[in-house]
Amino acid sequence: MEEWVDAFLLHLQNKNFSPLTIKSYREDLEAFLAFFRKRGQNDIRYFTSTGIRSYLAALQMQKNPARNTILRKIASLRSFAAYLLEQGELRRNPFKLISAPKRQKILPKFLTVPETMRLLQTAAHTHMAPRDRALFELMYSSGLRRSEVTGLKIKDVDFFNGVVKVFGKGSKERVVPVTDMALAALKDYLACRPNPQPTDALFLNKNGKPLTGDGLAYIFKNTAITAHLARKITPHSLRHSFATHLLNNGCDLRSLQEMLGHKSLSSTQVYTHVSIEKLKSVYQHAHPKCKE
């Protein structure tokens, strides 16, 4: 079965799936294979409804299994099954009689405006301040994903029109507005770079190599610690903060969907729940009956 997993992952790569997505598929499918290896069942014929139910039952027996994690694993296996059906390796769909649990709604974790400003100010005083200031200002001004930021080239920034061209999930291109402050920070950073070329990566690590996703996460972790932010901060925290702050200040959902690069409006609507929570908090502190 390992050979078919490798072939499936190569198929995803050829369809321009992002490296992070392919990594998730690989981890999910390898965990599935490991389960059957322990039972001495490593042949494609064991990829059946009964085998999948056994695997899902084992997952749910783990301590505090996260429902959305299990759903992601199911989605990976469904895609793998669809590929095997296309290749003629499976006669019937093993997921036809398997129903998945409903997705658990998790509100995105975001920073308050004062916390965000503290994070940006801290980034402007690191040992690589020109780069880090430009990095944080750009991410907060545009709500980019981690992979989108690390994939940017210098030529993708349009300083004249104040936008950045982004290649999102599935290599879909979109144009996102950027604040004047972020553009100024980017100009300052590039002025520190020796002979930057349009096709060079926009952000480099301390060794002059293109910044990776792991490198970006490391920068965020250290900057958050220096900023004395108690909660865990990831690159996605700024994306969530960008979306929440825009929505709280009157941005409409359709525009926000376009800027975030969401395929479905339902993905963007999760931020309306965050805004409602804010309204409820204000209401509970302000309404006389809530104080009794």
Residues 6+ apart with CB under 8 A from 193: 200, 204
Q: Alpha-carbon distance 27 to 154, whole Å?
A: 33
Phi, psi of 250 (to 5 degrees): 100, 5
Q: Alpha-carbon distance 157 to 163, whole Å?
A: 6
Residue 210 half-sphere exposure, CB side, CA atoms within 13 Å?
Answer: 14
221 catalytically annotated = no
145 catalytically annotated = yes
User: Cβ distance 161 to 139 under 8 Å?
Assistant: no
37 catalytically annotated = no
273 catalytically annotated = no
Strand order in the sheet with 163-167: 157-158, 163-167, 173-177
Going by the DSSP 8-state scheme, the letter that residue 187 receives in this structure is H
User: Cβ distance 257 to 268 under 8 Å?
Assistant: yes
Residue ranges of E strands in the chain: 157-158, 163-167, 173-177
Residue 287 half-sphere exposure, CB side, CA atoms within 13 Å?
Answer: 8
Going by the DSSP 8-state scheme, the letter that residue 154 receives in this structure is G
Q: Alpha-carbon distance 121 to 170, whole Å?
A: 34
CB-based burial label for 74 (10 Å; 0-12, 13-18, 19+) = buried
From the list 131, 133, 240, 262, the catalytic residue is 262
From the list 78, 169, 193, 278, the catalytic residue is 169
From the list 153, 193, 236, 278, the catalytic residue is 236
From the list 131, 239, 240, 245, the catalytic residue is 239
239 catalytically annotated = yes
From the list 73, 131, 133, 145, the catalytic residue is 145
Going by the DSSP 8-state scheme, the letter that residue 63 receives in this structure is S
Residues designated as active site: 145, 169, 236, 239, 262, 271
